[in-house]
């Protein structure tokens, strides 16, 4: 065999390997968002909350048994660069990364998805337009208008990320105020929304009602009934894990869990 033929055969083999690799990677319907899959299966999911930029703490939380990690970017000074390093540092952890973005802006949601978040939590949703914007910026066409740019998402979730991302991104909207509660049925009905989260603390803050006030309970019941009637999942604090209809829970932050763990250790 001449050297020219050897080169041609080598190139052909390389091309075939690339094509075969692409076929293997591009599995239709491939699911890697384990928390979303559990919800679809009718199970509950629990996420620990992280507000610090320390990758070691993030990895400890992501490997502790939670289904997802609620990365807090609304009420913390965390930057997207810091969160990108945290997610990459523990890229093989069982808990999937979910980011609460500051708002439903294209910039915030684009950055969150580009660095590898498989869930987007949007706070202060009180209009249908805001819920629609959240979906629009998180999903690729034809479901949304997410731009295809650079990011570490491909290295995290596979070369077929563009083809599978829409099915794996978990969209959570938070209802926190009376005007949002009033149209909870319309917000829950927005296509692409997976979870409606009843923000227990802010609902009390906006209304002035204590959580044992019947008026407060009536508001929570409305969110629950509207969400479930729309066929969506219902979220709330971990303390509500025994409430009927709830299946998506936010657990304590790293500081509280460290304190509780230390107290439990010393109590022995």
Name the residues annotated as catalytic: 75
Cα separation, 15 vs 161, whole angstroms: 21
Cα separation, 57 vs 256, whole angstroms: 13
Cα 150 from chain centre? 20
Cα separation, 199 vs 113, whole angstroms: 23
Helix (H) or strand (E) holding 98: strand 96-100
87 Cβ contact partners less than 8 Å away, ≥ 6 residues apart:
58, 97, 115, 116, 117, 152, 156
Residue 208: CB atoms within 10 Å: 9
Task: Say whether the peptide bond before residue 52 is cis (omega within 30 degrees of 0).
Answer: no
Give residue for tokens 């929570």: 220
In contact, 98 and 120? CB cutoff 8 Å: yes
């Amino acid at each position: 065999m001449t050297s020219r033929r050897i080169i041609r055969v080598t190139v052909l083999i390389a091309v075939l390997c690339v094509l075969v690799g692409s076929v293997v990677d591009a599995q239709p319907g491939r699911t890697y968002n384990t928390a979303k899959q559990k919800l679809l299966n009718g199970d509950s999911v629990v996420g620990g909350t992280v507000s610090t930029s320390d990758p070691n703490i993030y990895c400890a939380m992501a490997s502790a048994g939670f289904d997802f990690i609620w990365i807090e970017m609304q009420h913390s000074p965390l930057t997207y660069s810091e969160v990108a390093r945290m997610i990459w540092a523990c890229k093989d952890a069982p808990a999937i990364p979910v980011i609460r973005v500051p708002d439903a802006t294209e910039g915030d949601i684009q950055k969150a998805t580009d660095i590898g978040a498989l869930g987007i939590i949007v706070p202060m949703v009180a209009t249908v337009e805001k819920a629609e914007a959240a979906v629009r910026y998180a999903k690729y066409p034809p479901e949304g208008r997410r731009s295809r740019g650079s990011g570490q998402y491909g290295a995290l979730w596979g070369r077929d990320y563009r083809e599978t991302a829409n099915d794996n991104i978990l969209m959570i909207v938070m209802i926190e105020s009376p005007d949002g509660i009033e149209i909870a049925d319309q917000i829950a009905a927005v296509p692409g929304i997976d979870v409606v989260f009843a923000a227990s603390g802010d609902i009390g803050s906006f209304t002035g009602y204590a959580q044992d006030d019947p008026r407060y309970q009536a508001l929570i019941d409305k969110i629950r009934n509207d969400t479930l009637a729309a066929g969506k999942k219902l979220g709330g604090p971990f303390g509500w894990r025994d409430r009927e209809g709830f299946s998506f829970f936010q657990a304590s932050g790293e500081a509280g869990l460290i304190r509780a763990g230390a107290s439990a250790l010393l109590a022995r």
